[in-house]
Structure 1
Amino acid sequence: MPTRQAADAARAHILPLALAQFICSYAGTAMNVAITPMARDLDTTVFGVQASITLFTLTMAALMIPGSKLTDVWGRKRCLVAGLLLYGIGALLAAVAPGLGVMILGNALLEGAGSALMIPPIYILITVLSPDMATRAKYFGIVSGAGALGAAAGPLLGGLITSLASWRASFLLQVVVIAGIAVLVRRVPAPARLGHVPRFDLTGAVLCGAGLLLVVLGVLLSTRYGWRLGRSPVWLALTAGGLTLAGFVLHLRRTERRGREPLLHLRLFAVRTANLGLSTQAAQWLVMQGTFFVTAVYLQSARGYSAIVTGLVLTPATVGILVSSAAAERFARHHTQRTLTVAGFTATVAGLVLLLVLAATGSGIWRSAPGLLLAGLGLGTMLTSSVNLVQSAFPDRDQGDISGLSRAVSNLGSSLGTALAGSVIVSAASPGRHPYAASLGVLVVIAVIGLFLAVLLPRAPDA
């Protein structure tokens, strides 16, 4: 495909792809501010609603790699459309749910499965259809910014819609957006599949899904049980998940030796750049989601701010992510992806330290703005560069596999960020301690580890 035609194709498909990423990220955070009215309307408990929200994350994480593999079986655009259909049906069921059972079916299972089918094709299509690294960086920046905006704006928009209308209206809004995306996606080119249609590895999908489900469940349980050693459900779930994933790797090796198509090719883990890029992705999403969670809890619990005000206070971080994501193409034309990742982590560490210092020296509503803005600028810079590094490290035949692995790692990082920050807050909540400062301190340490991993990235210029 000539460069001009490739650029036109990439430009034509970016809007629906960015909207799809936005709505998936929005769904993950919007309902956190509507738990009480949802519990009342559904005649259930707060724990029941929290379980539905948690199951959405679990379903998406567990099915991300199998969903990505289906892009090679069904085709990338067809997989995207199937995800939109599932998600739309799920959101509609959630909007009219008479009780918790229908809510779990719609919100947790169908929306979660739809997201797992939708998200991998977004990144595959951008990689395959973009003519060069800088253009790819530009569109990854737009999609990453849309995802960050959805996650950050979820509490604000969700709280606003719930206050003005109902939590059900938030799900109806998702249905409308999904319908709009379905119309726009008709213009998205459908790249031809290379080679034969692979056989879907059902055994691998079950082992992968169960392993990731148990790992994410264990991480999420830490917010309730902490990280105490012993016969805690946290460690039981994590151990079971680790053993299941070990079985998954053995299954992949055995499948490849028999000459069959595995769910995930082990050759993906032989590329040093991609391994480091995946590690930095996990660290980035952990820090981002953890920062949003800690700040939101602090503002609502310690300061007594409403959901809407909390969302406004978090706006500088969202602005920072959007600004740096929008500049991704310009950055990529003048700097290597390694340089951008290192710079992003450096700015994020500085922003978190500034947030910690300013929050400790006063109680003004905007004292957190400088730190959040700087952290947001850093996060937006490196989210795009890390995705670009990982996706660009592989040829077209591996885009389905690496996209699912990349998104699964990012989802795991997001879940770990919220759970780790929550468990630190719980464990440090006794009198005389400072739980929010402790949580931010842990996030600073994770960001420093991410910076170290970024420094280890190869110095070779990007192709």
Structure 2
Amino acid sequence: MAGTGEAGRPRTALRRALLPLALAQFICSFAGSNMNVMINDISEDLDTTVQGVQVAITLFLLVMAALMIPGGKLSDKYGRKRCFLIGLVIYGIGALMSAVSPGLGVLILGNSIFEGVGTALLIPPVYILTTLLFTEITSRARAFGVISALGGIGAAAGPLIGGVITSAISWRAAFVFQAVVIAAIIWLSRDLRDPLPADRTRPFDVGGSVLSAVGLVLVVTGILAADQNLALMLGLIVAGALVLTWFFLSMRAKERAGREALLPTSLFRNRTSNLGLVTQNVQWLLLTGVSFVVSAYLQVVRGYDAIQTGVIFTAMTAGLLASSLAAERLAKRRSQRLLILTGFVVTLFGIGALLALVIGTPNVWAFAPGLLFIGLGLGLMLTPSINVVQSSFADELQGEISGLSRSISNLGSSLGAAVAGTVLVAGITSTPERAYGLAMTVLAACGLIGLLASIFLPRTITTAQASESAAAHPPEAMGTA
């Protein structure tokens, strides 16, 4: 006889609900990294350059980051399950468009735009529905652990799976694979239940959505322009910063006027959450940045094919899987702060190994120790960082904080591909060893920022305590989330 879970629902029903949500996070994270092993194949097939593929990868991540917050708000207005399914359909269309793309333009439209928009619609409901469905102290932490682990594994295993498919069939088949997984998720979601009704009367801040998206696009586009025109880069970054400042001031003005803003400014007054968001951003920056830099270096400089590149990344996948599986057990004995802090130390050690062991040696296995440690470090801290942020707010703000959290994480991914990728691409043909070393050094500097943020996290907050804070507000007491 099946046990009873939250809200009187059988535990088997909750597990069935978690499966499509976790798979959705897996495939979206997979999409952000699997193209890294296809750089040479796509470049040759579509008659483009390494930089062209980098732009497609970065734009996909950027569209996700720019639209994730509006996606969270739309899920409140039109329903979390409805937005989840619509996002899946849009994503699937984009995957099929990418599979048949005759040139870089159609690939960017399908992969960067359609898949990016679809992801921005479907990911916020993943985290909101998880929060609403899993209200018990331990089950919510476990559910977030499963989702974040599959997300990390999807990003880490993307190169291997993408490499196998590309070498066995073609890079286009990797997008067909995504479409098939999306179809399976839609089928698995047929019994998924949204605990709260949609609020069609809730206003949607169009102006705030535009300002936040434009600001993020300008900043990341400026970084991409770094190797072409320094003045253009500075101009775009400054313009983006000004637009984001305008966005924040407009939110505060709307709140003072009694109107609903895209995000409540109270989200930015929580010190613990702010520090947690910084760690999330840096974690995904490191994961995406390392994946792109190592993949591009192996293919362009050393001439490895997709499957060879993917196999090398099994070290990172193994490390991430091992530490993710142990994360729940470790969280019962150690504070979230210590897990995040240790994760950054281990990850930085891995980056140091990639610098010390790779440069100057032709041995391909020199990459394995560094990638293994990076996987171990990232897997150790992905779940605690999410739990710190999500559990810092009551359930009525879960829609907003879920959108902000996913936006910050995906912004980190886009910055990883943009910053490290731009440094690498600028010198990969003329001085490849120097470009690789500089790109890794930049990533190490970013990792130090995350380490510093984790040091300032509260010492006394443990996973259980944060989960208790989150579980203290049952869905029935929610207003708008």
TM-score over 0.5 (shorter chain): yes
Residue 238 of structure 1 aligns with which residue? 237
TM-aligned CA deviation for residue 427 of structure 1 = 5.8
TM-aligned CA deviation for residue 220 of structure 1 = 2.7
TM-aligned CA deviation for residue 433 of structure 1 = 6.8
| 1:219/1:234 contact within 8 Å kept | yes
Residue 399 of structure 1 aligns with which residue? 398
For 1:459, what is the secondary structure of its paired residue? coil
TM-aligned CA deviation for residue 8 of structure 1 = 5.0
Task: Write out aligned runs for 1:210-289 (5 A).
Answer: 210-222=214-226, 224-225=227-228, 228=230, 231=231, 233-289=232-288
TM-aligned CA deviation for residue 183 of structure 1 = 0.8
Q: Separation in 2 of the partners of 1:452 and 1:103?
A: 38
- Which deviates the most, 92-101 or 295-304? 92-101
| 1:133/1:332 contact within 8 Å kept | no
TM-aligned CA deviation for residue 436 of structure 1 = 2.1
TM-aligned CA deviation for residue 212 of structure 1 = 1.3
Letter in 1 for 2:83: C
**1:26 equivalent among 25, 30, 33:** 30
What percent of counterpart residues are identical?
Answer: 52
Normalization by structure 2: what TM-score? Answer: 0.87
Residue 55 of structure 1 aligns with which residue? 59
Letter in 2 for 1:56: F
Q: Separation in 2 of the partners of 1:274 and 1:95?
A: 39
Q: Separation in 2 of the partners of 1:328 and 1:70?
A: 32
Residue 105 of structure 1 aligns with which residue? 109
Task: Write out aligned runs for 1:44-443 (5 A).
Answer: 51-98=55-102, 102-193=106-197, 197-222=201-226, 224-225=227-228, 228=230, 231=231, 233-360=232-359, 362-426=361-425, 434-443=434-443
Cα distance 1:439–1:4, how it changes in 2: closer, same or farther (>3 A)? Answer: farther
Q: Separation in 1 of the partners of 2:89 and 2:381?
A: 32
Letter in 1 for 2:261: P
Letter in 1 for 2:249: L
For 1:434, what is the secondary structure of its paired residue? helix
RMSD value, Cα: 2.7
Q: Verify: 1:445 aligned to 2:448, yes or no.
A: no
Residue 456 of structure 2 aligns with which residue? 456
Cα distance 1:295–1:380, how it changes in 2: closer, same or farther (>3 A)? Answer: same
Q: Separation in 2 of the partners of 1:53 and 1:432?
A: 21
TM-aligned CA deviation for residue 41 of structure 1 = 5.6
Q: Separation in 1 of the partners of 2:50 and 2:224?
A: 16
| 2:73/2:399 contact within 8 Å kept | yes
Normalization by structure 1: what TM-score? Answer: 0.90
Structure 1 residues not aligned, in runs of 5+: none
Q: Separation in 2 of the partners of 1:437 and 1:47?
A: 18
Q: Deviations over 1:85-140 (max 9, x none)?
A: 11112222333345555444332222111000111111222223223454333332
| 1:33/1:159 contact within 8 Å kept | yes
| 1:424/1:438 contact within 8 Å kept | yes
Cα distance 1:371–1:37, how it changes in 2: closer, same or farther (>3 A)? Answer: closer
Give the aligned length.
458
Letter in 1 for 2:245: A
Letter in 1 for 2:331: A
Cα distance 1:432–1:323, how it changes in 2: closer, same or farther (>3 A)? Answer: closer
Letter in 1 for 2:189: V
For 2:365, what is the secondary structure of its paired residue? coil
Structure 2 residues not aligned, in runs of 5+: 466-481
